[in-house]
Amino acid sequence: GAVVSQHPSWVICKSGTSVKIECRSLDFQATTMFWYRQFPKQSLMLMATSNEGSKATYEQGVEKDKFLINHASLTLSTLTVTSAHPEDSSFYICSASGGQKIQETQYFGPGTRLLVL
């Protein structure tokens, strides 16, 4: 299957700093990428959807000025958590889909664990 990578796999930062997380599709072109967040013992919650070359669509309740998403190429999307606070500590997971077939499948990255002190 297709491979999606994330970097870094984990990050610890101080409150008030910004953190950038990269999501890459390694062996396919991702026309659409998704960003999810998962708190302990909870399911994945979609944060935003991004299509290459256009602005991301954010889910209700997700601050677009705080979670900046850039999908500049067909293999790379970035999520920047600006002015991070302890409540932003979570497991951030991206997924990617691509191709022309309607049955295209979303493939997920391994996730990035963020801890804000």
The distance of closest approach from Cβ of residue 75 to another protein in the complex, given in angstroms and rounded to an integer, is: 17
Q: Which stretch binds another protein (CB under 8 A): 13-21, 66-74, 80-88, 103-111?
A: 103-111
Measure the CA–CA gap between 57 and 33, rounded to whole angstroms. Answer: 11
Altogether, the residues listed in the chain come to a count of 117
Measure the CA–CA gap between 95 and 97, rounded to whole angstroms. Answer: 7
* Residue 103 binds to another protein (criterion: CB under 8 A): yes
Measure the CA–CA gap between 26 and 16, rounded to whole angstroms. Answer: 32
Among 28, 34, 58, 67, binds another protein (CB under 8 A): 34
Using CA atoms, how far residue 114 sits from 15, 37, 50, in Å, is 12, 10, 21
* Residue 107 binds to another protein (criterion: CB under 8 A): yes
Site for another protein in 37-56 (CB under 8 A): 43-46, 49
Q: Which residues bind another protein (CB under 8 A)?
A: 1, 4, 6, 31-32, 34, 36, 43-46, 49, 91, 93, 95, 97, 102-111, 113
